[in-house]
Each structure stands twice: as structure tokens, then as C-alpha cells.
Structure 1
Amino acid sequence: MTVLNANPVVYEVSKKININDIKYNINEGDETREPIDAEEIFELIRTINDPEHPLTLEQLNVIRLESIHVEDSNNYVSVTFFPTIPHCSMATLIGLCIRVRLLRSLPSRFKIDIFVAEGTHQSDAAVNKQLNDKERVAAALENSHLLKVVNQCLIEKE
């Protein structure tokens, strides 16, 4: 495999919180549930591994706290990410990894939108359309090879 961005800039990461410590009340009718905020979403996705490099999305500055929008009362989460290069061939895979982590971690009441930051990828509109199309996402996750790659990216490294 040819690595398109052989020498990415690596950023310092914040203190790690064990995502198992983040508790969600799965009982959808329970009014005592704690609201979910952008910091919790960031904690869930910051440790996703980049598909090309032995680094996390946070280390590569692909995801940023300020690009996460949560409307807990409206059951809505939006994450905008920033590919390291404008022609990143892994942008769709990175977005899929973010979506899968959130689908597996958040209560089902949430609508999740994933976006490539406008102007940061040569095909941002096409990538965004693909990442937010339920049928395309479902089809991608039925591909056993692709699902294996996604699962590898979601394994937290020590």
C-alpha cells in the first residue's frame, strides 16, 4: 500500500479518559439520564487509529473538540473531521470509523452526521454524501473486509 502522507504532522494529545468510564443510560424513557456533550463525544473518537499511520485521529489533528456539535435535547450529534491532505484516499474510511464508534457507543436515540470539513478535501461533498447515506453505510458494513479494517481502527492501543 502506498502511503500518500508519509510524514504527517503529529500533535500532542490530551489526557486519556477510559471510555468505559463514560456511562450512558440506555433506558430511553428514563428522565434521570445525564446529557451527552461534545467532550464525551471527543473522548469516544479521539483514540480511533488512523488507517495509514500508527497514530490516532487526535494525534493527527483529524478530529478536534471544537468541530463536534451536540444537541442532547434534540438527540443530535455532528462531527466534522479534517483530513491531513486534500486528496486523502482514507477520508471515507475515517468517517466510517467515527460513525461506527458512535453508533456502538451512543444510545440509539441519536441521529449522527459525519462531515469532512468544507474545503479540506478535493471531494468533500461526495465523501459527505456517502458518509451520511444510511444505505451506503449499511452496505459498507456488510463488506467483511471493510468491517475488519474498521474494527482494527477502533481497537484502542495502550
Structure 2
Amino acid sequence: MAMGLINANPIIHEKKERRARQAPETTDENAAEPIDQLEIFDHIRDIKDPEHPYSLEQLNVVTEDSIELNDESNYVRVTFTPTVEHCSMATIIGLCIRVKLVRSLPPRYKVDIRVAPGSHATEAAVNKQLNDKERVAAALENPNLLDMVEECLSPTFD
């Protein structure tokens, strides 16, 4: 195992089988296609953990149930659970989720990223960082952070 990991031996969960989504029946060609919880989960489930060769789904950091969606209000909230309460990568994980969703969803959506209540020692500070436009923009201007985010978002072939 690599030295210096915050959680050197995380619990690995089995990936869930991907389910096919039904195309919604619409009569208005100009209507925005509704998005569901499963679609949001599919966008973020394969994000790689910054410290381990596992996905956020495998580490149970994100689950289908951790996603709140109000398609009518164009609002998505993802609540993620770090593997340990003092995870130094929590902000990076949240930033990866935000970037993936902003890149994947129509721009009409407001994306809210949160640490699960009681799951992190600095929960309020992490939530504030992840939902402050200026802080997110500044983080993504940092080449080292951006490289880390891109690495976590790069596709895997397993």
C-alpha cells in the first residue's frame, strides 16, 4: 500500500449493474428532456477517487440515494460521504463531482454539492468552498488542482 494515505484500506463495494433508461415520451419537440436521478448517478459514479484506484461508487462515496433532483426547478444536489471524517481530499472529490455535472448537464441546472451531515470534521468549510462560485473558479485556475480533477474524471476501461 502507498504510504501517507488518509484511508489506506478503504472498504470496496461492488459496482451496481447499469440499468437502461427509458426514453421519455414527449409531444413537444422543443421541450427540455427531463433528467432523472439515475442519469445524474451515471454521470458521477465512475469518477476516480484521488487517492485510490477505485471509483466513488466502489468506495460508496456517492450512491443513487445521495442525489436529490427537482427537474422542474432545474436543481440538483449531490450529497457525498467521504470514507473517513478527516479526509483531506473531500474538497477535491466535491470539485470533481461539480465539474463533471456542470460539463454533463444542460446549463439551466443549479448544482449543489454537499458533504453528508456529520461525515466530515470540517463539513461547513468544505460545503462553503464547494458552493462558492469564486472559490470554485479560483481552484480550477490552479494547474495542479485542475490536473488532479482531470485525472479523476478521465475514463477507466474496467
TM-score, length of structure 1 as denominator length: 0.90
Q: Is residue 2:27 matched to residue 1:30? A: no
Q: Aligned residue for 1:9?
A: 11
> For residue 30 of structure 1, what is the amino acid of its counterpart?
N
The offset of 1:144, in angstroms, is 1.1
Conserved 8 A contact 1:69-1:78:
yes
Q: Aligned residue for 2:57?
A: 58
Identity of aligned residues (%): 59
Distance 2:144 2:38 in 1: 31
Conserved 8 A contact 1:86-1:121:
yes
Distance 2:49 2:120 in 1: 16
What do residues 100-123 of structure 1 show as CA deviations (whole Å, max 9, x unaligned)?
A: 000100000000000000100000
Conserved 8 A contact 1:17-1:43:
no
Segments of structure 2 that go 5 or more residues without pairing to the other structure are 24-28
Distance 2:148 2:121 in 1: 23
Distance 1:149 1:52 in 2: 10
The offset of 1:17, in angstroms, is 6.7
The offset of 1:16, in angstroms, is 3.9
What do residues 20-79 of structure 1 show as CA deviations (whole Å, max 9, x unaligned)?
A: x9x9xxxxx921x32101110000000000000000000000001111001111010000
Distance 1:110 1:130 in 2: 19
Aligned residues: 150
Q: Aligned residue for 1:26?
A: none
Query: Is the partner of 1:74 in helix, strand or coil?
Result: coil
Conserved 8 A contact 1:51-1:94:
yes
> For residue 10 of structure 2, what is the amino acid of its counterpart?
P
Distance 1:16 1:137 in 2: 31
TM-score, length of structure 2 as denominator length: 0.90
